[in-house]
């Protein structure tokens, strides 16, 4: 018997055992599902049996056939397949093992193809992430008591962290965002969106410095500006030194710049300005995290990340946001991703909304929180937390300005009546 025939026999054994004792499906339903069957008739039959048992219906050949099953196939399996109900857990384990081998084999072939155009580090990072989704175990069933205990532990951990540094995670640079979200929580994807010139990069860089000063390692994947410019922006902000002056080498600004540079050089800040593909960005963040260097990652910005295949812009950015969300969960750390907005709000003379995220509605779906910057009529900036799974939403009452000369985004008061002018 060849591998294909052996697999078909194993799948039929599962269906045969279930036709004899349908309730046995409860022993394997948390591990095995219809997609694990390679044969279409086996897959369909498993699906129909699962549905019938769930609905409390009787399971026999004729009922399954009336609901879409292949009658001749079902008759053949019930007569000739020797599935033993008591062995169904063993059949399921064997079938899963074969399925994992099959999926792993496909991934290894894809990795071999990627090696033709990508670096080994990029391919290994991609392969590690994909392989983590192949293996499935017996599930993670928890009783209500276990769920509540875990929730109480997480609440206690959050209390200790908040009392330690005032936040439930790394801090934002702006107290307004910390008030709304309580810091940057692990496993979450934060989107900061704005039109060019509003200061979204400044907020990200200020947050990087603030988090590093609070003891959190921060990794920045910068696709738009190089490391030298990032360094000058850090120095300008921390030392309140004129960015134009230090960039052009005017000595009167050097004193403040050198003092700020000394402080910055001691902080756990890391920059990669040479990764552009999605695989490369994810690889770099993963490597930093596994080396114990970072607890927060910043990507500036997602519109410049190169994605695979000939996808539409919408689908490509959807792939980027999904991978970053998945990465945040896998690495148990927050990721801030900067995004541009379309011109819809400008044309309509209104505040931006979630649908104004440029080129992709998937970004809105994948984000745990979305922060929007809006330039008001008096050239001040307002901030809206338009999505927040775990906290407040709405436009903040505080008024902000971006002082480009010292690369600082700061609060300058509140808007009249709590709203923008």
> Does the pLDDT at position 419 exceed 60?
no
Higher pLDDT, 70 or 196: 70
Q: What is the DSSP letter of 15?
A: H
What are 260-306's pLDDT values in tens digits?
888 888 889 898 888 888 877 888 888 888 888 999 999 988 888 88
Query: Domain containing 319 — which CATH number?
Result: 3.40.50.300
The reply to whether 164 falls in a domain is no
Name the pTM for this structure.
0.66
Structural contact between residues 245 and 257, judged by C-beta atoms closer than 8 angstroms: no
Q: Which of 83, 99, 115 is the last residue of a domain?
A: 99
Residues 268 and 395 in one domain: yes
* pLDDT confidence of residue 381: 85
Residues 91 and 177 in one domain: no
What are 344-364's pLDDT values in tens digits?
566 666 787 787 776 556 777
pLDDT confidence bin for 137, thresholds 50/70/90: very low
Residues 82 and 195 in one domain: no
Of the chain, the percentage scoring pLDDT greater than 90 comes to 6
The reply to whether 240 falls in a domain is yes
> Does the pLDDT at position 421 exceed 50?
no
The reply to whether 127 falls in a domain is no
> Does the pLDDT at position 138 exceed 60?
no
Tell me the mean pLDDT in the region 117-143.
Answer: 65
> Does the pLDDT at position 105 exceed 80?
yes
Joined together, the tokens standing for residue 193 give 């969106």
Residues 41 and 183 in one domain: no
Q: Which of 56, 81, 99 is the last residue of a domain?
A: 99
* pLDDT confidence of residue 299: 93
Residues 6+ apart with CB under 8 A from 67: 48, 51, 52
pLDDT confidence bin for 1, thresholds 50/70/90: low
* pLDDT confidence of residue 134: 60
Tell me the C-alpha to C-alpha distance, in Å, between residue 312 and each of 279, 309, 323, 325, 366. 18, 9, 17, 20, 18
The reply to whether 147 falls in a domain is no
Residues 92 and 219 in one domain: no
The reply to whether 24 falls in a domain is yes
Residues 372 and 277 in one domain: yes
Whole-angstrom Cα distance, residue 295 to residue 280?
19
Whole-angstrom Cα distance, residue 86 to residue 11?
15
Tell me the mean pLDDT in the region 28-51.
Answer: 80
Domain tally, the chain: 2
Residues 183 and 269 in one domain: yes
Residues 354 and 263 in one domain: yes
Residues 6+ apart with CB under 8 A from 145: none
Whole-angstrom Cα distance, residue 35 to residue 227?
47
Mean model confidence pLDDT for the chain: 79
Beta bridge partners of 338: 192
The reply to whether 155 falls in a domain is no
Q: Are strands 189-194 and 369-375 parallel, antiparallel or unpaired?
A: parallel
* pLDDT confidence of residue 296: 94
* pLDDT confidence of residue 219: 93
pLDDT confidence bin for 335, thresholds 50/70/90: very high
> Does the pLDDT at position 336 exceed 90?
yes
Q: Which of 50, 84, 99 is the last residue of a domain?
A: 99
Residues 392 and 264 in one domain: yes
Tell me the mean pLDDT in the region 327-343.
Answer: 85
The reply to whether 142 falls in a domain is no
> Does the pLDDT at position 218 exceed 90?
yes
Residues 204 and 343 in one domain: yes
Residues 92 and 178 in one domain: no
What is the span of the domain harbouring residue 341?
169-418
Of the chain, the percentage scoring pLDDT greater than 70 comes to 84
Residues 58 and 173 in one domain: no
């Amino acid at each position: 018997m060849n591998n294909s025939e052996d697999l078909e026999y194993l799948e039929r054994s599962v269906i045969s055992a279930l036709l004899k004792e349908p309730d046995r499906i409860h022993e394997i339903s948390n591990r095995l599902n219809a997609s694990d069957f390679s044969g279409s008739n086996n897959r369909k039959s498993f699906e129909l049996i699962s549905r019938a048992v769930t609905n409390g219906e009787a399971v026999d050949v004729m009922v399954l056939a009336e609901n879409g099953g292949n009658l001749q196939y079902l008759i053949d399996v019930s007569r000739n397949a020797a599935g033993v109900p008591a062995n169904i857990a063993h059949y399921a384990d064997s079938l899963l093992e074969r399925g994992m081998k099959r999926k792993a084999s496909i991934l290894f072939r894809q990795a071999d193809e990627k090696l033709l155009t990508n670096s080994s580090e990029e391919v290994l990072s991609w392969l590690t992430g994909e392989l983590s989704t192949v293996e499935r175990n017996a599930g993670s069933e928890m009783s209500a008591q276990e769920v509540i205990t875990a929730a109480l532990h997480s609440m206690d951990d959050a209390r200790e962290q908040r009392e330690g540094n005032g936040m439930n995670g790394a801090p934002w640079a702006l107290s307004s965002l910390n008030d709304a979200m309580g810091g940057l929580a692990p496993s979450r994807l934060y989107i900061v969106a704005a039109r060019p010139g509003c200061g979204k990069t400044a907020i990200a860089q200020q947050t990087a410095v603030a988090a590093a000063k609070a003891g959190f390692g921060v990794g920045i994947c910068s696709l738009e500006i190089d490391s030298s410019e990032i360094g000058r922006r850090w120095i300008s902000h921390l030392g309140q030194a004129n960015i134009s002056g230090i960039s052009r080498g005017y000595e009167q600004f050097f004193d403040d710049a050198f003092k700020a540079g000394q402080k910055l050089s001691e902080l756990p800040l890391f920059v990669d300005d040479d990764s552009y593909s999605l695989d490369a960005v994810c690889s770099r963040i993963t490597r930093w995290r596994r080396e114990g260097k970072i607890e927060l990652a910043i990507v500036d910005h997602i519109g410049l990340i190169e994605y695979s295949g000939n996808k539409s812009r919408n689908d490509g950015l959807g792939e980027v946001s999904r991978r970053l969300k998945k990465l945040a969960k896998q690495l148990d750390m927050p990721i801030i991703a900067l995004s541009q907005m379309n011109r819809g709000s400008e044309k309509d003379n209104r505040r931006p909304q979630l649908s104004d995220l440029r080129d992709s509605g998937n970004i809105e779906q994948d984000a745990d929180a979305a922060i929007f910057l809006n330039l008001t009529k008096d050239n001040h900036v307002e901030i809206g937390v338009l999505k927040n799974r775990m906290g407040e939403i709405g436009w903040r009452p505080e008024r902000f300005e971006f002082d480009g000369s010292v690369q600082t985004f700061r609060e300058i008061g509140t808007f009249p009546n709590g709203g923008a002018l």
